[in-house]
Homo-oligomer: A and B are copies of this chain.
Amino acid sequence: MLTPWETPDYINYKETMEKFGIKPLDVDIKEFHLFRRKIILGHRDFDRILDAIKNKKEFAVVSGMMPSGKMHLGHKMVVDILKFYQNYTSNIYIPIADLEAYWARNIDFDKAKEIALNEYIVNYLALGLDPDKVNIYLQSKNEKVKDLALRLAKKTNFNEMRAIYGFSGETNIGHVFAPIVQVADILNPEFDNNLEVKKMPVLVPVGIDQDPHIRLTRDIAKRVKIIPPSSTYHRFMRGLLGGKMSSSKPETAIFLTDSPEVVKKKISKAKTGGRETLEEHKKYGGIPEECVIYELFMYHLILDDNELIEIYNRCRSGELTCGKCKKMAYERLIEFLKELKEKRDEVIDKAIEILSH
C-alpha cells in the first residue's frame, strides 16, 4: 500500500540506495515532518548522531551552500533540517562555497559574498536559524578549512577525483581542488584550531545525488583515521512543472523573494495530479502522487499530518479539485513569503555582521 508520502520515484531512490549501500532510514522522530513523512529516507551511520542526541553528547552538522542564483523553496528544506538539529546542538556549520563558485563557475569573490548575503544568509536567518548556533563562513576566508584542505589534498589523487567527478586533464586545478575543500568543510568540526583531532561526530544532510561526495569524504576520513561523517539523504520536491527544480529556470521554482503576482502565475501553471476534465476528475479522483501542489503541501505548507491526509483522501475521491488546491497553496505561500520578507528586514543587519569578520 502506498502511503501519502510515497511519490512514484521512491522506487528509484530505493535502487540507488541499495546500489551504494545507503541504508533506509527508519526512525521514530515525530516532531519533524521531513522524518515523519519519509522525505528524509536514507542514511549512513545516522545511529551515531541519534545516540549523541539521546545522550546529550556533542555532535556537529555541516551543510554548505553554493552562492549562485536565487534561493527557492528547495533550498528552504535544508534550512528546515538545520532548524531541527539546532534544538540539539550549536555546532552547525554552513560553509559558503565561494572558492568552488570561483573555480567552477567563474563567480568572483565579491559577487559570491553579495549573493551569499542577500539571497541566502538573510533568508537562513529569516527562516529561523539561530545565529548563535550556526557558524556561517566563506570558504575563502576560513584559514582553518583552507589549511585542512591543503593537508587532506595529500590523501587523494587525480585518478580518484576524475573517477568521482568526471574531471579531465583540461579541468582547472582549482576546480579539481574544490571537492577537497568541501571534504575539509565536512571534516572541519573534527579538528581543533591547531588541526589536532578531537572526537566530534559529524552529520551531513544531503540529497541522494551528493552521495559520491559523501563516500569520498568518508574514505578520506578513514585514511586520516578520524570518524567518517554520518549522512542522511532526502528526496527533493519536483519543479513546479513536474521536472527538476532549478534556480536557472524561474518557472520551475518559487523563489523566496517572489512577489504575489509572480507566485500566482507560477502556481497557476504548476503541474497537478488532476484529470483531463472536471467530470473525469470527479469520477476517477485525482492522483496526489503526481501533483506538485500536493508536494508543496507535504514539504512546506501543511505540517499537520491529519490535514494533509484529509487533502490526500479528498483528492483521491475526486471531491477536491485542482483549482481549490492551487488557491489554498497560493494563499499559504503569499502569507508565508510576506512574513518571511518582514523577518528579512529584521535580520539583515545581523546577516551583514556575520560576513563582516
Contact = CB atoms under 8 A, between A and B. Distances in A.
A290 B105 CA distance: 58
Contact of A157 (B150, B151, B162, B172): B172
A52 to B, nearest CB: 31
Interface size of A as a range? 20 to 34
Interface in A142-196: 143, 146-147, 150-151, 153-159, 161-162, 167-177, 180
A151 B140 CA distance: 10
A232 to B, nearest CB: 28
Given A146-B150, A158-B173, A173-B180, 5 more contacts: A103-B153, A140-B147, A157-B169, A157-B172, A158-B158
Contacts of A175: 154
Nearest to A195: B109
A177 B157 contact: no
Contact of A161 (B102, B154, B173): B173
Contact of A172 (B102, B147, B154, B162): B154
Interface of A: 99, 102-103, 140, 143, 146-147, 150-151, 153-159, 161-162, 167-177, 180
A150 B180 contact: no
B158 A174 contact: no
A113 to B, nearest CB: 14
A162 B169 contact: yes
A104 B238 CA distance: 47
A176 B150 CA distance: 11
A196 to B, nearest CB: 12
Nearest to A153: B174
A154 to B, nearest CB: 4
B140 A153 contact: no
Complex copy number for this chain: 2
A154 B176 CA distance: 9
Q: Which 6 A-B pairs have the closest CB atoms?
A: A159-B169, A153-B174, A154-B174, A153-B173, A158-B169, A154-B172
A157 B173 contact: yes
A159 B155 CA distance: 20
A162 to B, nearest CB: 7
A109 to B, nearest CB: 9
Contacts of A173: 153-154, 156-158, 161, 176-177, 180
B140 A157 contact: no
Contacts of A150: 99, 140, 146, 174, 177
Nearest to A162: B169
A61 to B, nearest CB: 26
17 contacts: A102-B151, A103-B154, A143-B143, A153-B177, A154-B172, A156-B173, A157-B170, A157-B171, A157-B172, A157-B173, A158-B169, A158-B170, A159-B169, A159-B170, A161-B173, A173-B176, A177-B177
A96 B162 CA distance: 31
A213 B177 CA distance: 21
A140 to B, nearest CB: 7
Nearest to A104: B154
